[in-house]
């Protein structure tokens, strides 16, 4: 995730989308955690951040943590889908290595459990497992932040009585406009051939069509000869396991449409499958950024292969499960009434309450 350094706490807080007072309280809690906290993990070590989807919960919390130089241990529905995995990640995350103990170099850590509602939907015992970790007086005190939606608060049982819960308000139109007017988004609008309104950037921002923004994130871009690492990285972030699967479905067709000797074609595919294995290993071990990095570099290799004369990229090969998930994405997107580019705030197309995450190791 892109992160900008801020000169002070207030500058950071003003850069976030709404809920200034709540984010300020969370920042102060993290800032003073080592001073006021107990030596061992307790219920006071864990807080819940609740709010509707796509209002910047994860982005804001991660920026606060990075601003305070915390090492973030990410847990979400991409790397955790049952109680055992939750326990293992927290156990390994909190425990310092022997080298860190000897050199006294263990960084400040924060455990960030994102999409807690999705994880709980997959395994109803997750909340009791977390409560057990908090109350067994075993682990070094470490801040734990759970991000979820409102509805799941009714289903988390006793833990909601013991842990602090922050309920975020929906950002106002003015607050959303402020986020969209940041330099990078304005630069994108200026450089877009499809979005022009006589140079009136403010009017463009207010009238921007989310479908046009989505085209930049279209998976077809992964087969483009004009490679842009930032765009590819952003596309992969939207669906960290679905897109590699779909990319694989089309890679043979794509290679047959490119100018490449058969021997090199076979080697290309073999190398691609090696990368898929590494990708799965990284994802399984909570190293999502490493996984996306190696996949992004592989897409660069494809971009160097020119198309045969009159050949174009084809995206027809799409299995039933991927077609179903793609259809679900459209349904969820249509449930939003606003027209601003939702991908800037979060992954609006994820149906967190019913989605089943699949890893390559299970296929």
208-217: per-residue pLDDT in tens? 544 444 444 5
Q: For residues 128 and 159, what is the distance between their CA atoms, to the nearest angstrom?
A: 8
Domains annotated on the chain, with CATH: 9-167 (3.40.50.300), 209-362 (no CATH)
Exposure string for 299-338, b = 16+ CB within 10 A, e = fewer = beebeebeeeeeeebeeeeeeeebeebeeebeebeeeeee
Q: How far apart are CA 227 and CA 69, in angstroms?
A: 33
In this predicted structure, what is the pLDDT of residue 4? 66
The distance from CA 162 to its chain's CA centroid, rounded to whole angstroms, is 28
What is d(CA 81, CA 122) in angstroms, rounded to the nearest whole number? 6
Structural tokens at position 125: 């015992």
pLDDT tens sequence across 246-300: 788 888 888 888 898 988 888 888 888 888 888 888 777 667 777 888 888 888 8
CA distances from residue 135 to 45, 74, 148, 225 in whole angstroms, order as listed: 10, 21, 21, 55
Task: State the pLDDT at residue 50.
Answer: 93
Q: Are 276 and 244 in contact (CB under 8 A)?
A: yes
* pLDDT of amino acid 350: 39
pLDDT at 212: 43
Q: How far apart are the C-alpha atoms of 113 and 148, rounded to whole Å?
A: 9
Q: What is the pLDDT of residue 155?
A: 84
Write down the pLDDT at residue 101. Answer: 58
Distance separating alpha carbons of residues 183 and 15, to the nearest angstrom = 12
CA distance 29 to 6: 18
Per-residue pLDDT 10s for the chain (363 aa) are 555 677 789 889 988 888 999 999 999 999 999 866 678 888 999 999 998 877 889 989 999 999 999 999 999 887 888 999 999 999 988 886 655 656 666 788 999 999 898 888 888 899 999 999 999 888 889 999 999 988 888 888 888 889 999 999 988 877 877 776 664 555 555 555 444 444 344 444 455 544 444 444 566 778 888 888 888 887 887 777 777 887 888 888 888 888 989 888 888 888 888 888 888 887 776 677 778 888 888 888 888 888 887 666 555 454 555 555 555 555 555 555 445 444 444 444 333 333 444 444 333
Secondary structure tally for the chain: helices H, strands E: 18, 5
């Amino acid at each position: 995730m892109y992160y900008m350094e801020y000169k002070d706490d207030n500058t950071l807080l003003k850069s976030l989308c709404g809920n200034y007072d709540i984010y300020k309280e969370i920042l102060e809690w993290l800032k003073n955690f080592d001073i006021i906290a107990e030596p061992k993990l307790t219920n006071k070590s864990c807080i819940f951040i609740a709010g509707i989807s796509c209002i910047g919960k994860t982005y804001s919390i991660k920026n606060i943590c990075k601003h305070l130089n915390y090492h973030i241990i990410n847990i979400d529905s991409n790397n955790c889908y049952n109680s055992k995995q939750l326990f293992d990640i927290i156990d390994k995350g909190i425990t310092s290595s022997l080298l860190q103990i000897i050199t006294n170099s263990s960084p400040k850590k924060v455990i960030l459990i994102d999409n807690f509602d999705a994880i709980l939907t997959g395994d109803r015992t997750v909340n009791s497992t977390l409560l057990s970790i908090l109350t067994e007086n075993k682990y070094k005190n470490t801040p734990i932040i759970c991000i979820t939606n409102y509805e799941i608060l009714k289903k988390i049982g006793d833990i909601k009585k013991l842990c602090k819960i922050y309920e975020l308000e929906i950002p106002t139109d003015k607050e959303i406009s402020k986020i969209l007017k940041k330099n990078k988004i304005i630069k994108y609008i200026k450089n877009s051939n499809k979005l022009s309104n006589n140079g009136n950037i403010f009017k463009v921002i207010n009238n921007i069509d989310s479908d046009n923004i989505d085209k930049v994130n279209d998976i077809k871009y992964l087969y483009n000869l004009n490679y842009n690492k930032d765009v590819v990285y952003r596309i992969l972030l939207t669906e960290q396991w679905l897109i590699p699967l779909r990319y694989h479905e089309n890679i043979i067709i794509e290679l047959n449409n490119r100018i490449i000797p058969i021997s090199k074609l076979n080697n290309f595919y073999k190398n691609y499958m090696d990368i898929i294995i590494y990708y799965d290993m990284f994802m399984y071990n909570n190293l999502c950024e490493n996984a996306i990095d190696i996949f992004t570099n592989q897409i660069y290799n494809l971009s160097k292969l020119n198309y045969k004369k009159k050949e174009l990229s084809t995206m027809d090969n799409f299995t039933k499960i991927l077609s179903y998930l793609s259809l679900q994405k459209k349904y969820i997107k249509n449930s939003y009434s606003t027209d601003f580019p939702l991908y800037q705030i979060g992954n609006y197309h994820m149906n967190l309450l019913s989605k089943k995450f699949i890893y390559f190791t299970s296929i």
